Structure 1
Amino acid sequence: MPFVLYLLALAVFAQGTSEFMLSGLVSDIAADMAVSVPAAGSLTSAFAVGMIVGAPLMAVLSLRWPRRRALLGFLITFLLAHVVGALTTSFGVLLATRLVGALANAGFLAVALTTATSLVAPDAKGRATSILLGGTTLACVVGVPGGALLGQLWGWRAAFWAVALISVPAVVAVARAVPPSAPATAPTATPTTAPTTAPTGVRAELRALRSPKLLVTLLLGALVNGATFCVFTYLEPLATHVSGIDEAWVPGLLALFGLGSSVGVALGGRLADTRPLPLLVGGTVALVAGWVAFALAAGSPVAAVVLAFTQGMLSFAVGSTLISQALYAATGAPTLAGGFATAALNLGAAMGPWAGGRAIAAGLGYRSPVWVGALFVAAALVTAGVALLARRRRQH
C-alpha cells in the first residue's frame, strides 16, 4: 500500500477524534453551557448534518481543484473551527463551529477516499479504505479517551485545543506527501498497467449513483452507523448512571470501544475484497443480538465493558465493509462515490444521536439509546432482505 495512505490516515485521526470525542464530554459541555444533556448531544448530530451536506457538495466543488490544494484547504478550515470552538462561550457559536468543522471534514474525507482508492489496484479498494478508516479507529482508541481525560483534568475546551494541535502535523504531512496536482477524475490501475484516466462529468456520475444496489448499500451504511453513534454518543452517561462505572474509568471504556473498532476495521479490510457477504450477514445479525444484550445487561459493569469492545468491533467491521462495497458499486462515479458514501454514514451519525436524545428526553432513561441502536440495525436487516427479494423477482 502507498505510504501516502497512512499520512492521509493521520489527518483522518484528528478529524475522527473531533467527531467522536463529545461522547466523553457531553455532561461537561451541558453543565458549562447551561443546556440539557440531549442538547449537548445535538452537537454530534450537528457535526453529522454538516458531513451529510458537505460530503457531496464539497466533492463537487473540489472537482477542478488539485487534490493537495483541496485537502489542505479543508484541513486548515477544520483546524480554525476548533480554535474558535475552544474560545467561545456561546452554545450557538459552538454549534456553528461544529457545522463548519464538519463541512471541512466532509470535503477532506470525500477527496481522501477518492485519492486513496485511485492509488491502488481496482480489487484493493477494501484494503485502501480500511487504512484510511484506521485513522478513525485510532481516534477511538487514543484520541477519544484522551479527550475525555483532558476534559476531566482541564475542562472540555482542552480537548478542542488538542484537536487543533493534532491537525498541525497532519497539515505538514499532506503538504509534503500528496502530489501537487492530480486529475479531477479518478485514475484506474491494475498491477501490470499504468494508471489511466477515465473522464466523467458530474451529470454522468450523478446518473451512475442511481444504481439500486448502491442506494441500498448506502442506506444500510446509514442505519448501521446510526446505531453506532446513537449508543456511543451517550455511552458516558450510560456507563456512569446505569452501569455504575466510576467517571474516572470512562476514558478506559471509550478506549475499549475504540480498540474493538480498530479490530473490526482490520477484519473488514481483510475480508471486504474477498468475502464481503458472509461478513455483512453474520456481522449484522451478531450486531443486533449484541445491542439487545447490551440493553438488557447495561446494569452490569462487566457486561458493559465486554459489550463495549465486541459492539465496537462488529459496528466497524460491518460499517467499513459497507463503505468499500459502496465504492465498488459506484464505479461509474469515481469522483463523487467517496462523497456520497461519507454522506450516507453521517446521515446515520445525525439520526442516531437525535433519536437517542429524543428517547432520553421522553424519560426512557440512559439505557434507551441502546434499544434505539438495536432497532436501527434490525431495520438494516429488514431492508437488506426486502432488497434481496426484489432483486430475485426482477431476475425471474
Structure 2
Amino acid sequence: MVGGVGTEQDVRRRVEAVWRIESPRVVAALAHVTRDVGLAEDFAQDALVAAMEQWPVDGVPDNPGAWLLSVGRRRAIDWSRRQETLARKEVELGRVLALSLASGERSGIADFEAVEEDIEDDLLRLVFTTCHPVLAPEARVALTLRLLGGLTTAEIARAYLVPEATVAQRIVRAKKKLTSAGAGFSSPLPSEFVERLDSVLEVVYLVFNEGYSATAGSDWLRPELCHDALRLGRVLSGLLPKESEVWALLALMEIQSSRSRARVGRDGEPVLLLDQDRGRWDWAAVGRGLAALEKAEALTDSLGVYGLQAAIAACHARARTAEQTDWQRIAELYGALVVATSSPVVELNRAVAVSMAAGPEAGWQSSRVWRTRPRWRGTTSCPGCGATCWSGWGGSRRHGRSSSVRPS
C-alpha cells in the first residue's frame, strides 16, 4: 500500500486522481473481453465504487491500475455467470477472465504489466469507438470525455454549461447507437482508418477550442477543457506515433495554450495576439509544441490542415516580439491552407497576413476571392487573437467568440 491510509478526504482525492489517469486503460481492457463499451464502463465503475469503499480503510494499493482492473474482471466474471441466455459467451468469456484472474491473484502488478501492450491496443480501439462517425459530434465529445478523459457526467455538464441530464442522455444514446449500428469495440478497417482518425482529431480539437475560446458563459477561457484535450492529444501521439496529423494537432494545441495567461486582460476582455505580453507566454509549452511540429513535419512531405495551422502558430511563437513576426511565411502557409480547406475565413486571414507582409493594397487585392464568396463555410484561427473566430479579423464582432448571428 502507498502512503498509509490517511484521512478519508485525502484518500478520496487520490482515488479521483487515479481514476482520471487509469480509467481509460481499465475500460479498454474490459471492453476487449466483453466486446461492449457500455458493459466495460459499468464494470469499471463497480471497481471505482469498491476503491471508494476499501482504500480509505486499507490504503491506496501499490499499483492502483492493476487493482481496479482486477476488481473489474471479477465483476465481469460475476456478470458472465449470470447470463443464462448467453451460454456460449459465458463459457468463452468466463474461461478467459478466470485464467487472467488466476494469474492476476498471484501478482496484480505482474498481471497488469504483462498485458500492457495489449491494453495499449485496446485503448486505441476505445479511442476509435468513442469517436465513431456514426455518432453526432456532441455525442462523441461526451463519450470521449467520459471514457477517455475520466470525467464524470456532472463535470462534462459543468464544462459545457448544459444540464447534467442532457449529458447523461447523450452518453446513453451514444452507447445504444453504437450497439444498434453494429459499431463494436474494434479497430477500423484500413479503408475506414482515415475517416475515423479525422473524427478522432476533430473531437479532440472541439474540446480544445471550447476551452480556448468558450462559446457560452461569461469566461473567455476554460483551462480545464484545454488540459483535457492536451491529455487526449498526448495519448493519441503515444498510440499513433507515425501519424503526422496527430503530432500536428498536439503541436497546435500546445502552442495555442501557451498564450492562455496573456489572452485576457485585467478587465476580463481579450487581448489580441499582437498586443499580448509575450513574457507571460508559457515557453515550456511552446517548446513542446515546436518539438511536436518537428515530428509532424518529419513524417510527411505535405502538412495537413492541423499541420498548416500549427506551422502558422509556430511562426508567431518563434517571434519574441510582434515586430519580428514572419508575415511572409504566414501568408504562404495560409495560401496552402486555402487550397486545403476552401474556406473564405482562411482566405480573409491570408489577406491580412499579406497586408502585414506587403502592405494594405496587396492585402486588399488578395482578398478579392473572399469578397466574391456568397457564403462563409468554415472557421480557422484568427490572426488577431489566435482563436477560432467566425468574424475573421477586425470588424465589430468580439474576437475569440462565435458570433450570435453567423453570415449565411
TM-score, scaled relative to structure 2:
0.29
Structure number with the higher helix fraction is 1
Q: Which has the larger radius of gyration?
A: 2
Point out which structure has higher relative CO (alpha carbons under 8 A, 6+ apart): 1
TM-score, scaled relative to structure 1:
0.29
